[in-house]
Structure 1
Amino acid sequence: MIRKLIFTTISLLLLTTGCAAQSSELEAEARLFAEPLPNEVPVHDHDDHSHEHVDESAATAVMQVVILPSELAVGQNRMAVGLLDANDQMIAEADVHFHYFDLTDPAAPELEQEADAQQVQSPDGLTTIFTQERSFDRAGEWGLEVQAQLASGETAVQRIKFNVAAESTSLLPGEKAPRIQTPTLADVAGDFSLITSSWEPNPALYQLSLDEALGNGKPTVLLLATPAFCQTRFCGPAYETISALAEQVGDAVNVLHVEVYAGLPDPSQTDWQLAPVMDAFGLSTEPWVYVMDGEGTIVYRAEGVFTLDEITAHWQ
Structure 2
Amino acid sequence: MSAHPKPSRRVVLQSATAGLAALLVGCESAPPAEQAASPTSSASVEPAPPPRGTGALLQEVAPDRTSDLQVINASFETLTGDDQLFAFGIVGADNTPVTGADVQVWTQSREGEQPTGPIDAEFREIPNQPLGLYVVRLDLPVAGTIPMAAVTADGAAGQTLMRVADEETAAVPPPGAPAPVVATPTADDMLGYEFLCTQSPPCGMHDISLDEALRAGEPVMLSIATPGFCETAICGPTVEVVDRVRASGAGDPAVRWIHVEVFTDAGTTVADPVTAWELQSEPWVFGIAADGTIAGRLDGPLTILDDEVAALADSLV
What TM-score do you get using the length of structure 1 for normalisation?
0.72
- What is the correspondence of 1:171-250 to structure 2 with a 5 Å cutoff? 171-188=173-190, 194-202=195-203, 204-215=204-215, 219-249=219-249
Separation of aligned partners in 1, 2:22 and 2:76 = 15
What TM-score do you get using the length of structure 2 for normalisation?
0.72
Separation of aligned partners in 2, 1:164 and 1:238 = 23
| SS of match in other structure, 1:36 | helix
For 1:309, the equivalent position in structure 2 comes to 307
Structure 2: stretches of 5+ with no match in the other structure: 1-6, 25-35, 37-50
Deviation track 1:178-198 (CA, whole Å, cap 9, x = no partner) reads: 232211111149x99542223
- Letter of the aligned partner of 1:101 in structure 2? Q
- Equivalent of residue 101 in structure 1, options 99, 108, 118: 108
Which structure has the higher relative contact order (CA within 8 Å, separation 6+)? 2
Answering whether residue 94 of structure 2 is matched by residue 87 of structure 1, we say: yes
Q: CA RMSD in A?
A: 3.4
Count of residue correspondences: 275
In structure 2, relative to structure 1, the CA distance for the partners of 1:292 and 1:144 (3 Å cut) is same
Separation of aligned partners in 2, 1:221 and 1:292 = 6
Separation of aligned partners in 2, 1:294 and 1:3 = 34
- Letter of the aligned partner of 1:170 in structure 2? V
For 1:157, the equivalent position in structure 2 comes to 157
For 1:21, the equivalent position in structure 2 comes to none
Tell whether the 8 Å contact from 2:182 to 2:273 is kept in structure 1 after alignment.
Answer: yes
Separation of aligned partners in 1, 2:130 and 2:285 = 20
Tell whether the 8 Å contact from 1:15 to 1:84 is kept in structure 2 after alignment.
Answer: no
Structure with more helix by fraction: 1
In structure 2, relative to structure 1, the CA distance for the partners of 1:131 and 1:34 (3 Å cut) is closer
For 1:126, the equivalent position in structure 2 comes to 130
Cα drift, residue 224 of structure 1: 0.7
For 2:74, the equivalent position in structure 1 comes to 68
For 1:170, the equivalent position in structure 2 comes to 172
Separation of aligned partners in 1, 2:94 and 2:58 = 27
| SS of match in other structure, 2:94 | coil
For 1:258, the equivalent position in structure 2 comes to 260
In structure 2, relative to structure 1, the CA distance for the partners of 1:277 and 1:78 (3 Å cut) is farther
Tell whether the 8 Å contact from 1:291 to 1:298 is kept in structure 2 after alignment.
Answer: yes
Cα drift, residue 78 of structure 1: 4.3
| SS of match in other structure, 1:80 | strand
In structure 2, relative to structure 1, the CA distance for the partners of 1:147 and 1:234 (3 Å cut) is same
Tell whether the 8 Å contact from 2:107 to 2:146 is kept in structure 1 after alignment.
Answer: yes
- Letter of the aligned partner of 1:307 in structure 2? L
Separation of aligned partners in 2, 1:9 and 1:228 = 20
Separation of aligned partners in 1, 2:243 and 2:58 = 47
Per mean C-alpha deviation after superposition, the further-off stretch among 94-103 and 276-285 is 94-103
| SS of match in other structure, 2:259 | strand
For 2:295, the equivalent position in structure 1 comes to 299
Deviation track 1:133-192 (CA, whole Å, cap 9, x = no partner) reads: 55644333422121333xxxx243333444545612211223222232211111149x99
Deviation track 1:231-253 (CA, whole Å, cap 9, x = no partner) reads: 32322221211221222128453
In structure 2, relative to structure 1, the CA distance for the partners of 1:148 and 1:176 (3 Å cut) is farther
